[in-house]
Amino acid sequence: MSFWKNKHVVVATLAAPVLGIVSYFGVGAIFGEKPEPAEAGQSYQLVEKPNCRYNSGQCGLKNVDFELTLSFERLGSDRLLLKLFSENPLDGVKLALVENATEEEPPLDMRPTGDDGLNWSMEIPVPDPERDRLHLVALSMQTLYFGDVATKFTANKTENEY
């Protein structure tokens, strides 16, 4: 008698992957951590997206439904105009350029570039993409969001530098 002619083996072979997938998602739905909306007066960490760690020209920061995007414009050989775009209106943004993740520098205020609180900018010295980091704090609806990102994304060349 062949192994595959046994109906119990055939049913078990077809049912096992389905049960495994259903179990995986079921346990995640029952016991998994559920995202909650931000609460006023609390602070939340922003996670840098992978595009911050290579010469992309942009850097994204995210926490559930709160997202920021950093980009830049060269103002010469030694200055950058750092631009920040937010998905949510911001009440203020502070930023510090530091040499490593543990260094403390006093943060400076970014300036809004419109009345909606979505676009912000700040002039900074050109960072060393291999060593320098940005510490950022954004205030939105009485909630603080903070992040620490690499400046590797600023190593991207602009069109007029090619």
> Is pLDDT of 67 > 70?
yes
Does residue 162 lie within any of the structural domains? no
| Residue 47 sits in the same domain as residue 7 | no
The 3-state secondary structure of the chain reads: CCHHHCHHHHHHHHHHHHHHHHHHHHHHHHHCCCCCCCCCCCEEECEECHHHHCCCCEEEEEECCEEEEEEEEECCCCEEEEEEEECCCCCEEEEEEECCCCCCCCCEECEECCCCCCEEEEEEECCCCCCCEEEEEEEECCEEEEEEEECHHHHCCCHHHC
> Is pLDDT of 152 > 80?
yes
Tell me the residue range of the domain where 137 lies. Answer: 43-157
Does residue 90 lie within any of the structural domains? yes
> Is pLDDT of 18 > 90?
yes
**In whole angstroms, what is the distance from residue 127 CA to residue 58 CA?**
14
Burial class (CB in 10 A: 0-12, 13-18, 19+), 85: middle
Question: Which tens digits make up the pLDDT trace of 29-51?
Answer: 888 877 677 778 888 888 888 88
pLDDT > 70 in the chain, percent: 91
| Residue 76 sits in the same domain as residue 95 | yes
If you average pLDDT over residues 143-159, what whole number do you get? 79
* Domain count of the fold of the chain: 2
If you average pLDDT over residues 82-109, what whole number do you get? 85
| Residue 11 sits in the same domain as residue 28 | yes
Question: Which tens digits make up the pLDDT trace of 97-111?
Answer: 888 766 677 888 889
Does residue 114 lie within any of the structural domains? yes
| Residue 28 sits in the same domain as residue 70 | no
Domain CATH number, residue 51 = 2.60.40.10
